[in-house]
Amino acid sequence: MFEVHAIDPERLPELLRVMPKAELHIHIEGSLEPELIFALAQRNGVSLPYADVAALRSAYAFSNLQSFLDLYYAGASVLLHAQDFYDMAWAYFEKAAADQVVRAELFFDPQTHTARGVPMGAVIEGLSRACRDAQTRLNISADLILCFLRHLSEEEALATLEAALPWREHFIGVGLDSSEVGHPPEKFARVFARARELGLHCVAHAGEEGPPAYIWGALDVLKVERIDHGVQAIHDAGLMQRLADSRMPLTVCPLSNLKLCVFKTLSEHNLGQILDAGLCVTLNSDDPAYFGGYLNDNYLQTFADLQLNAQHAYQLAANSIEASFAPEADKHRWLRELTTCFQSFEQRDGMPLRAG
């Protein structure tokens, strides 16, 4: 691990903003800003139960995961055509580029759309075209991860995976999201086995609100390569050891945890403890349009409230690159760029002020 030398703490926010980083936990439907929801509603003739953008935004006060999901699924109802999915993802990529995101792995929820009669092809083709343009126009490497809604049955998840297979080359993995408690990973053992057979990467939300047992289940039954959230692991010492020893990445989303009342305040978040325990933690935005911030907002607010330092910044950005499913050559290049970025901050600090 690159050892960070003295960097003026006052320059830490600037460093957080400009360092290259990967985002591995972003639900693309959760990047739909109220303004775009209203624009798409008008374009598609969908009526919304809110008078205007301000009224919708003022409904964004959540008490737990479910209270958020109800609004999140309602917001996604304006998405009908491939172009809508493209526009949503493109708006996210522009924000990600400004946040120096070099790699983005986007979750999408096909069942939210196919249940309303939207064709699978419209969803995947719109998102996939935005990913290709992100590479050519913004130099962001981007891929898609298809998520199953865990409040629905495993049969529906299996049918969704089969329905997506004509677009197999357009997504790199599968995930598991929506209402966690009462829907343990074991419910999806067969669909994840099928996904692994197909050579897809596997990740799952576990330990956001659910118990450590759900994280064990995701590891041992679903055989995931990353845990999304995972903050409840702190309550199980044996699990913490397993996660540390295996360098199993956790994609942690501090502003999401704050808005969904997983922690009362950001300063009570256990990110610092999980990092100090040696886990491969990454920072992510989850549903940035709903939780009050994109990736750099998560870095800036978390670092301020938990009093983290430049070494933590390097560690989190390096973890995000290491934990990504990008080609190894790209990961090595981004790690070199990350180190160069930090060195440039060190050197500038060390430079004597020029006279005159």
Binding site partner of 187, from Zn ion, ligand HPA, none, Cβ cut-off 5-8 A by kind: none
* Residue nearest Zn ion by beta-carbon distance: 286
**257 near ligand HPA, judged by CB under 6 A:** no
Binding site partner of 105, from ligand HPA, Zn ion, none, Cβ cut-off 5-8 A by kind: none
10 as an active site residue: the answer is no
Q: How far is the CB of 310 from Zn ion (least distance, A)?
A: 28
d(CA 23, CA 131): 14
**208 near ligand HPA, judged by CB under 6 A:** yes
> Site for ligand HPA (CB under 6 A): which residue of 4, 19, 65, 191?
65
The total of other beta-carbon atoms located within 10 Å of residue 350's CB is 10
Q: How far is the CB of 136 from Zn ion (least distance, A)?
A: 28
The amino acid present at 161, given as its one-letter code, is L
The total of other beta-carbon atoms located within 10 Å of residue 336's CB is 11
Residues 6+ away with beta carbon under 8 Å from 3: 311
Binding site partner of 295, from Zn ion, ligand HPA, none, Cβ cut-off 5-8 A by kind: none
Token pair, residue 189, equals 């053992």
Binding mask 280-299 for Zn ion (x = CB under 5 A): ------x-------------
Token pair, residue 127, equals 């998102």
d(CA 256, CA 262): 8
> Site for ligand HPA (CB under 6 A): which residue of 280, 287, 316, 324?
287
**175 near ligand HPA, judged by CB under 6 A:** no
Q: Which is nearer to ligand HPA, 128 or 257 (CB)?
A: 257
With beta carbons less than 8 A apart as the criterion, state whether 160 and 147 touch. no
Q: Which is nearer to ligand HPA, 286 or 315 (CB)?
A: 286
By three-state DSSP, how is residue 252 classified?
strand
Q: How far is the CB of 72 from ligand HPA (least distance, A)?
A: 6
Instruction: Give helix 82-98 / helix 120-138 axis angle, nearest 10°.
Output: 30
Return the C-alpha torsion angle 214, 257, 13, 143, nearest 10.
Answer: 60
Q: How far is the CB of 205 from Zn ion (least distance, A)?
A: 6
By three-state DSSP, how is residue 216 classified?
helix
By three-state DSSP, how is residue 81 classified?
coil
> Site for ligand HPA (CB under 6 A): which residue of 12, 16, 30, 78?
30
Chain centroid offset of residue 84 CA = 20
Which positions lie near Zn ion, rule CB under 5 A? 286
Residues that bind ligand HPA (CB under 6 A): 27, 30, 65, 72, 177-178, 205, 208, 256, 286-287
Q: Which residues are catalytic?
A: 208
